[in-house]
Amino acid sequence: MTSKFVLVSHVLCPYVQRVAIVLAEKGIAYHRIDIDLKNKPAWFLAISPLAKTPVLLVGEQAIFESSVICEYLDETHLPKLHPKHALLRARQRAWMEFGSSILSTIAGFYNAVDAPALRGKSQELREKLKQLEALVQDGSYFSGLQFNMVDAVFAPVLRYFEVFETVFGIDFFADTPKVRAWWLHLAQRPSVKHAVGANYAELLLDFLKARPVMLVENYRECLV
């Protein structure tokens, strides 16, 4: 391979999307290798101590954990995606962790095994989106007109809800118009568009339809 950077990926991994977005925003050429997380190859386990994607190979060195990879890229390549002001930078990093917490709730949502669990996770997602609604500034992105690292983190999070509407018939953005507008701006950004393959929505639909949530009796009623 001629590229200095190799991104080891899974086609549906939201954490991989973060890294792909940052790589694209910085114009960094890289090679992407998708693996099957249900059948992890030995070479992958040798470079990923946590056995998770993403892993970024920089030459012969492996970096794992998406937040660490993104910070490395921002330290070493322009343009900077973190704000210059230290307090604003710290604030956005804190909300990036909030984005990760939403991903955990999303996993709990589609893995819900009964109506109470599903109802609880659905409500938790709505409440977290309302917290964002109170925070997101008017404009295209999290803090207004400037795309930052925090936007790269939230793009894969918000992408889920677009597919959820197709699967479950529920608009999670109904009470959060600013969050909806934020996602619509993000969805048009080339780095966000191309962070997933053309068949991403189809693959995610298939994944969701095989999850425990689909076995919950009258699951749609739990989401109203």
Active site residues: 13
Which stretches of 82-218 are DSSP H helices? 86-110, 115-133, 149-168, 177-188, 190-193, 200-209
Calpha distance 135→142 (Å, rounded) = 8
Structure tokens at 85: 């002001």
Q: What is the side-by-side order of every strand in the sheet holding 31-34?
A: 31-34, 5-9, 55-58, 61-64
Q: Is 1 helix (H, G, I), strand (E, B) or coil?
A: coil
Q: Please, what sign has the CA dihedral across residues 123, 124, 125, 126?
A: positive
* Number of other residues whose CB lies within 10 A of the CB of residue 97: 10
* Number of other residues whose CB lies within 10 A of the CB of residue 215: 11
What distances in angstroms separate CA 117 from CA 177, 188, 204, 211, one per listed residue? Answer: 26, 34, 21, 14
